[in-house]
Amino acid sequence: MFHFLKTPFPDFKKKKFVIRGTLCVLILVIILATQFTYVLNTGFIYFFRFVIGFTLISGGCLSIVLYLFSMHIKNRWTLGKYFLFTFINASTTLIFISIYHYFFQNIRHVSFLIAFRNLAFFSYLIGFSVFAGLYFWTKYRHMSTDLQKKEDENQKLVFRVLKDTSEHKLITLCGVSGKESLTLFPQELIYLESTGNYVLIKYKLEEKVLQKTFRTTLSKIEETLNEYPFLYRCHRAFIVNIFRIEEMNGSKIRLESVKTELPVSKTCKADFQSRINTYGILSQK
């Protein structure tokens, strides 16, 4: 039981909760207020004051208690804290509604304790009905969203596996320790840069430019990329994907997606230009 109460409350959004909770309270209050036989005996003014007064008090108490309670628990909601919040909110609302009813709606001139007793049942019924309804609704939404995310991830994984052919084969780049790795298609690489004892890898996945840094050398990674001639070491510190070249100006190349200018060393400039001409990259752009 106690373990259940420590369960994190799924996807708790403060603003949405205020709106939904106030709306539920408003609907239930209106339902209670639409007891026509009682309204006919008391008149429209009583009915109007009943709905407006109870709604404002319920919404106000809900907002204030939620704000103070959220600050106290630092927005770390669990099922138990949510249950406690519901009880505190229902109790606070009951007290203020009883005061309002006693001073402004007490046409039968009943005592405060009787008014409090009569309203207690409806206040806790409303409060915990909202609690249960919102909990199950939020849990359902959370499960649906989580399921959709997993389906999307599975579809992406299937796509990448189907794409893994003799022409498009997944490769794995690793750091020195072997604990760090990155698996991707060679075509997804943009460029690799040697920075001291590390190598920065820029790559594009699903229209997003990402990066990863390994503790390794560029020469070690170059060994893995040797069978892909479009991945060329144009400088001692850079390996570029020729298909990502947008413009070449002298000893500088600019890459698409990242708009980064990289140097081309003099020793490999002629060979690099020949490789570009072979693929006809710049002539196609």
Tell me the residue type at 52: I
Supply 164's token pair.
């893994």
Pairing of strands 252-255, 261-263: antiparallel
pLDDT of 29 above 70: no
Read off the pTM. Answer: 0.44
pLDDT of 108 above 80: no
Summarize pLDDT for 265-274 with one digit per residue, the tens: 999 889 998 8
Taking domain 171-284, whether its CATH number is 3.50.50.60 is answered by no
3-class DSSP state for residue 37?
Answer: helix
The DSSP bridge partners found for residue 214 are 199
Summarize pLDDT for 227-275 with one digit per residue, the tens: 898 999 999 999 999 989 988 888 899 998 887 789 999 998 899 988 8
Q: In the chain, what are the domain boundaries?
A: 2-155, 171-284
Summarize pLDDT for 183-199 with one digit per residue, the tens: 998 989 999 999 888 99
Nearest to 34 by CA among 44, 25, 19: 44
Summarize pLDDT for 54-107 with one digit per residue, the tens: 777 777 777 787 778 777 776 677 777 777 877 887 788 788 878 877 777 666
